[in-house]
Amino acid sequence: MSPPKHLIEYWKNNPSWPKRYIQTSAELNWMLCGIPHNKEDSLWTPEAVSEFNIFMKKHSKALKKSTIIYRGTSVPSPTMSPLEDVIVNCQYMSTTKSKAIAEEFNWKKKGYVHILHCQRGVRVYDFENDYGDDPVKREQEVLILPGHVLTMVDMKDHTIVWKVSKHK
């Protein structure tokens, strides 16, 4: 079986790696985290993964100062890994500059809002310039690249606070 035709067309007509990621991020992140999925249905070939990783390494930025960003999830873990006090992130983790947006992604207050205190040096990719007039721009999305360490600082009700730092 091949990927859906609309995604094949999208990839053919849109060479932007960030926009391709937005359309098919789950598949890439499943691959990076070793989660079983149907590889025949994916546009994320080993070559595409390699090209995307190269793009992200080239265009992501190391934070120059500590920065707070947010993530809303339906489950307690902010990553595809189980909830633990310390997690090494295996995926490109979608976050937002807006706590209100994160709250929209926490499944109507049944999920979780993660407050991520990103330390200086954490590598991120800000989608700010990729959306143009697309309404999705309101999400203020920022990716945290794989390989960072998330250390739980506090957990109260449906809010979890994390310190995010470079992997040593």
pLDDT at 1: 59
Tokens encoding 4 = 């859906």
Q: Are 62 and 121 in contact (CB under 8 A)?
A: yes
Tell me the H-state helices in the chain: 5-13, 17-32, 46-59, 99-104
**Please, what are the averages of pLDDT over each run of 10 residues along the chain (168 residues)?**
82 88 88 83 89 95 97 94 95 93 82 96 90 72 95 96 91
pLDDT at 62: 96
pLDDT at 163: 98
pLDDT at 168: 67
pLDDT at 99: 92
C-alpha 97/C-alpha 45 separation (Å) is 31
Domain ranges of the chain: 1-59, 62-168
pLDDT at 135: 63
CATH ID of 62-168, from 3.40.50.720, 3.90.176.10, 3.40.50.12280, 3.40.50.300? 3.90.176.10
